[in-house]
A and B are shown apart, each in its own frame.
Chain A
């Protein structure tokens, strides 16, 4: 025999004055299975909670209905009290007579009648509730961070706490990502390399951070709390222990290759360190171009013996026999901070990029401004002269129906930063910024606009991102544009800088498949919720940070890195088990016919097909109880715990009665 207790909260005057509590209490007493009814001025206060606990025990109540505020407010409070009183917390049902009744109905008589229906419905539902026990599983607090740019570095440093190992995997031979290659970053024009250096040092020297440069993630198995990950450490051919980065090898190397780390603006050798100051300061052999390996492959016997670098290394660090290595690690969670790529400007022929000289993309120009870059930081033309004039064209690839619909967010700020630095380095250069709208939200960002005006930068408003064209005429670059008023004009300049969009990195798709996360239509990783869960994904234990989630500036990337790490710190605690979601879905094997409708629907990839039993099955650890499978299951075999069809139907029937 069930003994239901109905507790009515007056919520101070909130409920008490809007409806007749006495009448409701009397009505509740008349309902079947209701053994006890009590009203109280404020159930969520200490006295209320104490009363609730005492009555549940003394009256030997088997189920409880709390007629009070929204379950969003105090359901967990009352579930906790029920648990303290020895009742399974899922045997509690909230009847919301405040938000759904007292606050929205001015007529006391009508409000009282509605409250009766709400309570009657809750009683009918609570009778069907099943006790649910929270499951816990063993897990590892260790974490994997993919991508050693600013976001990944921040995540790794925040995560690297007592009792926790962090594995940092970076595909390049060096860490620091894009930012380490910038010179002056907005809004305060600090040197990014100098700013990052101490952080990079910390990463390389912290005992519990294991850095894998020149490495990629090869395989991901398992789930939140217990991932097994294979890292492929590519053969560097140079020992990281003995190489000091002295440079003797690449000075001697006979092969010249375009240097991708300087945006292909200059050359490096087949054995190289990407740029001066790259960390770890260890050389790497590019086997595709190295004569030793190339000739091995083509069986070119004459040049086969090229071992010049080895002969020149004073430390014996060169190892031609180095092999790719697979390292297996166990982690509980993953932060993906895999960054972005720059829009390829020659997709827009009218940008002139790739056709004419002295046209640079944003990232190329960053390297030109860098003291470790191809020009040593000097703003000069291909012929070595300093430009008399430079045009900076905003929104190249952004805000375009044809390319990227979104605003890349950072181009206005870096374009004005470029203008300021050009003026500083080369005061006689006339600078023109061709913009159509300014996006300068952010601390200290709009001040860059004022600074540009102070510097005497010409800000030319165009009719839109597509209204600018770059041609060549008599050896000079000519910017043809339509201004905001619709007037067409031409302007001859020596140099053009294209503020190219941020776009998803080329490996975004393969990474998303590897880690089973979703990509948005723009190609960036999709967050669990755009506002409320911006660094988690719908795959448990996989977090995202920085530009792999969407275009953003350095501070936002760092903030996301820290946020992702914080999420992990709070949910995977060393020595503690992982508490699983209680109200998840379950599949009744006796009803499932294996139609497979549900399998592809789960946003958390929690459903799999049990090939032996030929039925669908749910992984308890991954299921979050969203209910999609339950709604879709055509045979009614999937039950969403605590939201079963029976419970919902019972509620509807009572309301309609």
Chain B
């Protein structure tokens, strides 16, 4: 029997998704037994050239984690697309842009300026910034180009399936791999995971009051969080109502509100604005000043509501001021 060829690759990401594969624990042995891993930079010593030398569509599945922020990453994923039958966007960053895409609230110039010149820990009197090409005595050095905008994977290449989460839960990973091996995949373009949002499985669901209202918004470090009660009902921002379930409610079980890493449901285009709309609807004041007070108490509203989805949202990035 010929084993299916599988590639794992990470782009702009923290590496957590790769860890998640290892979190399959003993199940990883089943995977390894069932597939032939042809590329996995974090664990195995394959080179780009090994992929380049393969035939088109020779790889059965490529799992790609991370967003696209450098031209090197773009080249890699284009190459994998060419060589793979299926591309799976693995984890929040590949799926929606993820945390790296929060950089879209700035642009290349301001990021490089901040990091290489203004950060308090930096001493750079000559104001040097990294360049794509640098001439040195021993020849020209080349660095990948740093893009102005971070993109989700499907904004660069065609993606067949999405495996959500920061990182995806081991259950979902196993479910996906099994579906691939059994040739039992949903229609192309599907996000693999349940249709409903997190409240469905939340252990605190029954603690919700009949009518949800909010008079003040608190941050987790400001209060002692009731471990039984709905976070939103406690005045804590919990993106659960606007976030696809399937994560295993790991944050909720650790007494932390949902941050939204699984992204929106199939019926929602923009998770951040949908959550904002829901939250705004339940603010229980009619007086403009009072409403403003509640709204102003949300620290970093866009960062909080678009934490994982900025790149793939309707707003995508901060407008460039000319």
Beta-carbon contact of B269 and A600 below 8 Å: no
Minimum Cβ distance to chain B for residue A596 (Å): 5
Beta-carbon contact of A645 and B212 below 8 Å: no
- Given known A592-B196, A593-B197, A596-B210, contact A631–B267 (CB-CB < 8 A): no
Does B115 sit within 8 A of A, measured CB to CB? no
Does A128 sit within 8 A of B, measured CB to CB? no
Does B264 sit within 8 A of A, measured CB to CB? yes
Pull 19 A–B residue pairs with CB atoms less than 8 Å apart, ordered by A. A591-B265, A592-B196, A593-B198, A593-B200, A595-B241, A596-B208, A596-B209, A597-B282, A600-B212, A600-B213, A601-B282, A634-B197, A634-B241, A634-B278, A635-B242, A635-B264, A636-B267, A636-B274, A649-B269
Given contacts A631-B281, A632-B281, A634-B242, 11 further A-B contacts (CB under 8 A): A591-B195, A591-B265, A591-B267, A592-B196, A593-B199, A595-B241, A596-B208, A634-B197, A634-B275, A634-B278, A645-B267
- Contacting residues, chain B, for A637 (C-beta < 8 A): 196, 265, 267
- Contacting residues, chain B, for A26 (C-beta < 8 A): none
Beta-carbon contact of B268 and A596 below 8 Å: no
- Contacting residues, chain A, for B240 (C-beta < 8 A): 595
Would you list which residues of chain B between 130 and 189 have a CB under 8 Å from chain A? none
- Contacting residues, chain B, for A635 (C-beta < 8 A): 196-197, 241-242, 264-265, 267-268, 274
Beta-carbon contact of A595 and B267 below 8 Å: no
Per-position binary interface string of chain A over residues 600-635, scored 1 when its CB falls under 8 Å from any chain B CB and 0 otherwise: 110000000100001000000000000010011111
- Contacting residues, chain B, for A633 (C-beta < 8 A): 274, 278
CA distance A396 to B76 in the complex (A): 81
Chain A interface size range: 20 to 34
Does B211 sit within 8 A of A, measured CB to CB? yes
Does B205 sit within 8 A of A, measured CB to CB? yes
- Contacting residues, chain B, for A590 (C-beta < 8 A): 195-196
Minimum Cβ distance to chain B for residue A618 (Å): 16
Does B73 sit within 8 A of A, measured CB to CB? no
- Contacting residues, chain B, for A631 (C-beta < 8 A): 277, 281
Cross-chain pair count, CB within 8 angstroms: 89
CA distance A196 to B211 in the complex (A): 46
Does A187 sit within 8 A of B, measured CB to CB? no
Would you list which residues of chain B between 206 and 222 have a CB under 8 Å from chain A? 208-213
- Contacting residues, chain A, for B200 (C-beta < 8 A): 593-594
Minimum Cβ distance to chain B for residue A493 (Å): 43
- Contacting residues, chain B, for A521 (C-beta < 8 A): 286
Minimum Cβ distance to chain B for residue A336 (Å): 23
Beta-carbon contact of B196 and A599 below 8 Å: no
- Contacting residues, chain B, for A645 (C-beta < 8 A): 267, 269
**Which 6 pairs show the lowest CB-CB distances between chains A and B?**
A636-B267, A600-B211, A634-B242, A595-B241, A593-B200, A632-B281
Minimum Cβ distance to chain A for residue B189 (Å): 15
CA distance A618 to B269 in the complex (A): 23
CA distance A637 to B197 in the complex (A): 10
Beta-carbon contact of B197 and A595 below 8 Å: yes
- Contacting residues, chain A, for B286 (C-beta < 8 A): 521
With a 10 A CB-CB cut-off, give which of B232, B269, B275, B278 has the most chain A CB atoms: B278
Does B245 sit within 8 A of A, measured CB to CB? yes
Beta-carbon contact of B282 and A600 below 8 Å: yes
- Contacting residues, chain B, for A628 (C-beta < 8 A): 281
Per-position binary interface string of chain A over residues 632-657, scored 1 when its CB falls under 8 Å from any chain B CB and 0 otherwise: 11111100000001000100000000
* B208: nearest chain-A partner, CB-CB: A596
- Given known A590-B195, A599-B212, A631-B277, contact A636–B265 (CB-CB < 8 A): yes
CA distance A609 to B205 in the complex (A): 12
- Contacting residues, chain A, for B209 (C-beta < 8 A): 596
* B287: nearest chain-A partner, CB-CB: A521
- Given known A634-B242, A635-B267, contact A599–B275 (CB-CB < 8 A): no
Q: Main secondary structure on chain A at its contact with chain B?
A: loop
Beta-carbon contact of B196 and A597 below 8 Å: no
Beta-carbon contact of B212 and A595 below 8 Å: yes
- A-to-B contact residues, CB < 8 Å: 521, 588, 590-601, 609, 614, 628, 631-637, 645, 649
Beta-carbon contact of B196 and A593 below 8 Å: yes
Number of interface residues of B (CB under 8 A): 31
With a 10 A CB-CB cut-off, give which of A591, A593, A614, A632 has the most chain B CB atoms: A593
CA distance A649 to B314 in the complex (A): 12
CA distance A590 to B196 in the complex (A): 7
Would you list which residues of chain B between 99 and 127 have a CB under 8 Å from chain A? none
Minimum Cβ distance to chain A for residue B136 (Å): 48
Beta-carbon contact of B211 and A596 below 8 Å: yes
With a 10 A CB-CB cut-off, give which of A590, A609, A632, A634 has the most chain B CB atoms: A634
- Contacting residues, chain A, for B268 (C-beta < 8 A): 634-636
CA distance A599 to B282 in the complex (A): 10
- Given known A635-B196, A635-B265, A645-B269, contact A597–B245 (CB-CB < 8 A): no
Minimum Cβ distance to chain B for residue A570 (Å): 33
- Contacting residues, chain A, for B197 (C-beta < 8 A): 593, 595, 634-635
With a 10 A CB-CB cut-off, give which of A596, A631, A637 has the most chain B CB atoms: A596
CA distance A186 to B232 in the complex (A): 56
Beta-carbon contact of B278 and A597 below 8 Å: yes
- Contacting residues, chain B, for A601 (C-beta < 8 A): 281-282
CA distance A521 to B209 in the complex (A): 25
- Contacting residues, chain B, for A599 (C-beta < 8 A): 210-212
Beta-carbon contact of A595 and B211 below 8 Å: no
CA distance A596 to B213 in the complex (A): 10
* B282: nearest chain-A partner, CB-CB: A597
Minimum Cβ distance to chain B for residue A238 (Å): 44
Beta-carbon contact of B210 and A597 below 8 Å: no
CA distance A593 to B205 in the complex (A): 9
* B240: nearest chain-A partner, CB-CB: A595
With a 10 A CB-CB cut-off, give which of A595, A600, A601 has the most chain B CB atoms: A595
CA distance A613 to B209 in the complex (A): 16
CA distance A373 to B282 in the complex (A): 52
Would you list which residues of chain B between 278 and 311 have a CB under 8 Å from chain A? 278, 281-282, 286
- Contacting residues, chain A, for B196 (C-beta < 8 A): 590-593, 635, 637
Minimum Cβ distance to chain A for residue B202 (Å): 8
Minimum Cβ distance to chain B for residue A142 (Å): 31
CA distance A479 to B286 in the complex (A): 41
- Contacting residues, chain B, for A588 (C-beta < 8 A): 267
From B195, B241, B269, give the contact of A597 (CB < 8 A): B241
Minimum Cβ distance to chain A for residue B272 (Å): 11
CA distance A599 to B278 in the complex (A): 11
With a 10 A CB-CB cut-off, give which of A632, A633, A635 has the most chain B CB atoms: A635
Would you list which residues of chain B between 66 and 103 have a CB under 8 Å from chain A? none
Beta-carbon contact of B212 and A596 below 8 Å: yes
Minimum Cβ distance to chain B for residue A295 (Å): 46
Minimum Cβ distance to chain A for residue B291 (Å): 15
CA distance A594 to B286 in the complex (A): 25
- Contacting residues, chain B, for A598 (C-beta < 8 A): 281
CA distance A645 to B273 in the complex (A): 14
- Contacting residues, chain B, for A614 (C-beta < 8 A): 205
Would you list which residues of chain B between 226 and 276 have a CB under 8 Å from chain A? 232, 240-242, 245, 264-269, 274-275
CA distance A614 to B200 in the complex (A): 8
- Contacting residues, chain A, for B274 (C-beta < 8 A): 633-636
Minimum Cβ distance to chain B for residue A83 (Å): 30
Minimum Cβ distance to chain A for residue B168 (Å): 20
Beta-carbon contact of B269 and A595 below 8 Å: no
From B199, B264, B265, B281, give the contact of A594 (CB < 8 A): B199
CA distance A252 to B277 in the complex (A): 69
* B278: nearest chain-A partner, CB-CB: A634
From A592, A594, A600, A634, give the contact of B205 (CB < 8 A): A594
Minimum Cβ distance to chain A for residue B236 (Å): 14
CA distance A593 to B264 in the complex (A): 13
Beta-carbon contact of B210 and A609 below 8 Å: yes
CA distance A588 to B210 in the complex (A): 20
- Contacting residues, chain B, for A596 (C-beta < 8 A): 208-212
Minimum Cβ distance to chain B for residue A484 (Å): 34
CA distance A632 to B212 in the complex (A): 12
- Contacting residues, chain A, for B265 (C-beta < 8 A): 591, 635-637
